[in-house]
Amino acid sequence: MAKTALAKKEGFGTAPVFFAAISTILGAILFLRFGWAVGNLGLYQTIAIIIIGHVVTIPTGMAIAEIATNQKVEGGGAYYMISRSFGLNIGAAIGVALFLAQAISVAFYVIAFAEAFKPVFTFIANNYGYYYSTGQQYYFVAVPTMALLTLLFLTKGADVGVKVLYAVVAVLFVSILFFFIGNQNLEFEYNVSDFSHGVKNPESFFTVFTIIFPAFTGIAAGLGLSGDLKDPKKSLPQGTLWATVVGMVVYIFIAFKFATSASLFDLAYNDNVMYDLSLWGPIIPVGLACATISSALGSIMIAPRTLQALGADKIFPLRTMNAWFSKEKKGEPINAAALTCILAFVFVFLGGITENGVNFVAKIISMFFIVTYGAICMISFLEHFAADPAYRPTFKSKWFISLIGAIACFYLMFKMNALYAFISVGLMVGVYIWITYNKSKDTDEGLATIFQGVIFQLSRRMHVFLQKSSAQDDAEHWRPSIVCISSDSFERFSAFDLLRWISFKYGFGTYIHFITGYLSKETNNTAKDALQRLIKMAESSKSNVYLDTMISPSYTSAIAQVIQLPGISGKDNNMLLFEFQKGNSENLKDVIDNMQLMRSTDFDLCILGSSPKGFGYNSEIHIWITALDYDNANLMILLGYIILGHPDWKQGSIKLFSIYPQGEFDTQQKRLHKLVSTGRLPISLNNIKLIAHEDQQDPKEIINENSKDADLTVVGFRSEMVKHKGLEVFDGYDGVGNILFVNTNSEKSIE
């Protein structure tokens, strides 16, 4: 990721941020559409719009303050903040949309500026008889104004814009003051009952909200000056938050002034209602002109800087494009400004040919801005949740405030206009895919870092919750949390395959590659290399197994360490899995020698005997139950059921065998049928086979004969048998393929 976007200049303080924001907040919408909003919805619903709008803007303002005080803020405003937190890919996708919104805003304010000259055209028509259509009025004022703004900005830059801001804001506040103290020129006495409704057949709540919302987007106006501020960490939060709060209070008072000074009809249909209510009417179009021209200046200052920052971060796939957009002349983004002005001209013309240019452009910029605000709030929420020690803002909001802001944004955008919402989201997704395809993987570093932190926090909290909620294992809800230790990870894969099947859906598996030796730099490097090999193996098999390595001087010390490992899943480990190669008893002997150590814990024990046949076609699992190890039966059946849950065994089935003493056929059959039916196990009654055991017959011969074609044979064993017979317990199964020996610590319930 690029570390800087633009070379930062020493410059302005907090005042330009506040004035840029407040002049946009108390701007075109206030003069042109706010009385219309009160007329359509009534006072109470209009105040609801103000409150809902600030449910978006206040969390966004606080999130901006956080992000701005956590990092070095350079040119590019909101884009810079988003890209440095979410990563360049996400930041660029939002940044392109943000640039379009800012560039189109220039056209919006220029069109609104043209509205200020309606009294002039009315005067000309009444006194001289020259009548001009609405479109002609737009073009006579908007096009020359846009041309003058372009010439002014391309030749003088941001300094003249900031100087004009002070004069403009002064006139703006005077015009609002005249409106508040003005005499009531309309014959009207308000009734409190009228506050709850608007005119007959009004516009819908969200239609009005969509058109009014650009008034609240003024908080973004000051962000674009980030590269021109002396101390952005101080100026951005203070200027933005103060402008947001002042704007909200002023709008509430103005709504009340409208509702108590004019009829709903006049508010909804009289474009000059604010003029009529003011102490001196002409100050209103003057204030409108000042507000709109200042907002246009603000937008024309910040939009090129956003595009310049995108080019400086080399977002675009062509080197020449990046160089062209990021080019400066006397500290000003000359080429980016030229493109901004061209786009603004296009929308000025489009606004002129539509029936209501202000409403048309307002809907477009509302959507782009609300998406940007939602992204900023989401960044703040994720940063809070991720609890990254590197995130140390000097101004701190609350995570739930940011979450409320993000949810409100994404809900409102679809309520405002679902089509525009899908188009804006589709545009950003398309830009993201395009940039991701053309940029290197490290551009997504910021997003990955945040989500890694989020996943870490979720995992940490879940682990603690699971540990607290399972202080005592419930046998009825048993699930395997199995640890496998093997030094033959790259020679035989049977143990890893079995582990990934068991941990696929119902359990959790930890695979530990054992390296004999003492910890040193050399063995540590060997362990790291082995872990990377294991990770590649796991990726190719799409496993859900947690992988690790262990360096220990002996097998006994390794087992002692493993059985004391905390459960990675949040639940204590409850099962051990070992593997040996049939015909080679070296590994098996190590397991048997440490049997007493393992039995000192509450672990269930599984020992897999691997054969060259492997797991065959993953078709049949044979489970053998004998009278001597009936305590293991439930665990063996549960393991068979769990293994069948893996897609590799989707065509598999379980066959259940019972070797019973002579004369116990009926008892054993009822017992097994009841076990299968009450346990809701996927075992057909036709797959249950009972075999009478004659005294002179070895059970191993019966198993070899009946399971020679099985893909996995499961047999129980008792630790007492191992203690007395040792290796003999696991020998004699040459006629079958892979065989799993199971010993339970306590009987499991499958009812």
**592 or 461, which is more confident:** 592
State the Rg of the chain over Cα.
37
Please indicate, yes or no, if residue 427 is contained in any of the structural domains: yes
- For position 165, what pLDDT does the model report? 67
Q: What is the pLDDT of residues 244-288, one digit of tens each?
A: 888 889 999 999 998 888 888 888 888 778 888 888 888 888 888
pLDDT (tens digit per residue) in 394-415: 777 888 899 999 999 888 888 8
CA 493 – CA 636 distance, rounded (Å): 21
The CATH number of residue 533's host domain is 3.40.50.620
Domain edge (last residue) among 582, 608, 634:
608
* Structure tokens, 581: 């190669």
Q: Which residues contact 631 (CB under 8 A, 6 or more apart)?
A: 716, 718, 744, 747
State residue 1's pLDDT score.
Answer: 42
**Cα 240 to chain center, whole Å?**
26
Read off the pLDDT of residues 127-153 as tens digits, 9 standing for 90 and up: 777 766 666 666 678 778 888 877 776
Residue 135 lies in a domain: yes
**Structure tokens given for 73:** 């803020």
Rounded alpha-carbon distances, angstroms, from residue 335 to 91, 99, 299, 307: 21, 14, 16, 9
- Distance from CA of residue 346 to its chain's centroid? 35
**Structure confidence by residue, pLDDT tens digits, 300-336:** 877 888 888 888 888 777 778 888 888 877 767 888 8
Query: What pLDDT is recorded for position 465?
Result: 64
pLDDT in tens, 707-747: 999 999 999 998 888 888 888 889 989 889 999 999 998 87
Please check whether residues 588 and 675 belong to one and the same domain: no
For residue 466, name the pLDDT band (cuts at 50, 70, 90): low
pTM tops 0.85, yes or no? no
Assess contact for 702 and 659: CB atoms under 8 A: yes
Domain span at residue 249 reads 14-449
pLDDT band at 61 (very low <50, low <70, confident <90, very high): confident
> Is residue 181 located within the same domain as residue 109?
yes
CA 113 to chain centre: 39
Q: Are residues 254 and 340 in the same domain?
A: yes
| 625 plus 579 within the same structural domain | no
Do 616 and 601 share a structural domain?
no
User: Does residue 461 fall inside a structural domain?
Assistant: no
**Mean of the pLDDT values across residues 647-669?**
81
- 618 and 585 within one domain: no
Query: Which residue among 551, 583, 608 closes a domain?
Result: 608
Domain count, the chain: 3
pLDDT at 58 over 70: yes
Q: Give the pLDDT mean for 460-487.
A: 69
Asked whether residue 465 is domain-assigned, the answer is no
591 and 664 in a single domain? The answer is no
Q: Are residues 571 and 685 in the same domain?
A: no
Mean pLDDT of the chain: 80
The token pair at 548 is 């690790």
Indicate if 216 and 308 belong to the same structural domain: yes
Reported as type and span, the H/E element at residue 485 is strand 481-486
pLDDT of residue 77: 65
Q: Torsions phi, psi of 735, nearest 5?
A: -80, -10
Are 234 and 310 contained in the same domain? yes
What gap in Å lies between CA 657 and CA 666, rounded to an integer? 14
Same domain, 656 and 599: no
CA distance to 6, 372, 430, 538, 631, per residue, from 90 (Å): 19, 11, 11, 29, 56
**662 shares a domain with 532:** no
Burial of 442 (0-12, 13-18, 19+ CB in 10 A): exposed
pLDDT band at 159, cuts 50/70/90? low
Residue 638 counted as domain residue: yes
DSSP one-letter code for 749: P
Write out pLDDT tens, residues 180-201: 888 655 566 777 777 888 888 8
Distance in angstroms (rounded) separating the CA atoms of residues 686 and 654: 11
CATH label of the domain that carries residue 419: 1.20.1740.10
- β partners of residue 406: none
8 part of a folded domain: no
Q: Considering the domain boundaries, does residue 624 fall inside one?
A: yes
SS3 446: helix
Residue 706 is assigned to a structural domain of this protein: yes
Task: Give the sheet arrangement for strand 712-716, strand by strand.
Answer: 546-552, 508-516, 481-486, 575-581, 604-610, 739-743, 712-716, 620-626, 653-661, 688-693
Q: Is the pLDDT of residue 475 over 60?
A: no
Report the DSSP pairing between strands 604-610 and 739-743.
antiparallel
Separation CA 126–CA 166 (nearest Å): 35
